[in-house]
Structure 1
Amino acid sequence: MFYGALVWDPWLIIVQIVCLQCLHYLTLGLFLTILVGTRVSRMSLAYYFDFATLTVSTVTGRCVIASFVLTALAGAVYLLFLIERSKKCLDFSVTLYTVHLFICICYGGWPSSITWWVVNGTGIGVMALLGEYLCIRRELQEIKIPTARYCLNV
């Protein structure tokens, strides 16, 4: 896809945000199921959206934190395939976590735990920086152009 100064498609941006948000929560659910689901009798939305579940004082809380960090790492890979531009990685990462903040506020009120803010701030940083790194590596790959010899033989 060609990108330029005049290319601005709001519907594409909205679809990318929705897809990234959905993949984020699907991946978070997968990691929560693997790491936390084996420790608790019943999974609930509290592990996604309640700031009180992000705590370092319990093993389950540390597993929830690990799930959020692993999801941020996976989010960087999603940025590589969905967004494809290193300049946009920070914007989409912050947008994803801002939407998550609003959902958390609706679910359980304003996050008053410093651990919640540190984990989600780290998630933004990891997702944005690793996503930019991966996108830059892809952008700097050499473009293979067939030589004239191959073009004449066709």
Structure 2
Amino acid sequence: MFYGAVVWDPWLIVSQIVCLQCLFYLTLGLFMFVLVGSRVSRMSLVYFFDFVTLSPSTLTGWCAIVSFFLSSLAGAGFLLHLVERAKKCLDFSATLFIIHLIITIIYGGWPSTVTWWVVNGTCLLLMALLGEWLCIRRELQEIHITRLRSNV
């Protein structure tokens, strides 16, 4: 099959979205555990899904913000390995953060702080653009073809 002549496979797309979402939350949990867990007595889902915790007025809030940025950087690497196409990186990144918005609304209501919107919007752009850049670099690599020459 020619490169780019891909058949639409909804099960593949859904599985990629689920994998990307799970990997994003796993890395977010890891970074939250390291950065925020050292500052608070008890970790909970509040730091993941409550928009109030992303506050630049406290050191714990800054640690949560940095955790989101580091998870977005890792998410770009996940896009490189899961999605593998530069033109799909924005779609998958936007889907990830829309799902995160829905979970945030269910958990703590509509995010009413500007900081939450700026952090998540910047993380979305960071993940999408870095993921696209990484995928483009991979797509532009030379394809080495080894030929067997016959002496005929």
TM-score bin (small chain): over 0.9
Separation in 2 of the partners of 1:47 and 1:25? 12
State the alpha-carbon separation in 1 of the partners of residues 23 and 147 from structure 2.
40
Q: Which runs of 5+ in 1 are unaligned?
A: none
> What is the aligned partner in structure 2 of residue 77 from structure 1?
77
Distance 1:6 1:81 in 2: 17
Aligned position for 1:118 = 118
Give the alignment's Cα RMSD to 1 decimal. 1.5
How far apart in 2 are the matches of 1:2 and 1:123? Answer: 34
- Between the aligned partners of 1:3 and 1:146, the Cα distance in structure 2 is 20
2:48 aligned residue: 48
User: How much does 1:4 deviate?
Assistant: 3.0
Q: Which residue of structure 1 lines up, in the alignment, with residue 89 of structure 2?
A: 89
CA distance, structure 2, for counterparts of residue 4 and residue 49 of structure 1:
37
1:12 corresponds in structure 2 to 12
Report the counterpart of residue 101 of structure 2 in structure 1. 101
Percentage identity across paired residues of the two chains: 71
Normalization by structure 2: what TM-score? 0.96
| TM-superposition CA deviations, 1:37-69 (whole Å, max 9, x none) | 000000000000000000000000000000000
Residue 105 of structure 1: CA displacement?
0.1
How many corresponding residue pairs?
Answer: 151
Question: How far apart are the structure 1 equivalents of 2:3 and 2:83?
Answer: 12
Q: Measure, in 2, the Cα distance between the counterparts of 1:57 and 1:2.
A: 53
Query: Normalized against structure 1, the TM-score is what?
Result: 0.94
User: What is residue 129 of structure 1 aligned with on the other side?
Assistant: 129
Structure 2: tracts of 5 or more residues without a match: none
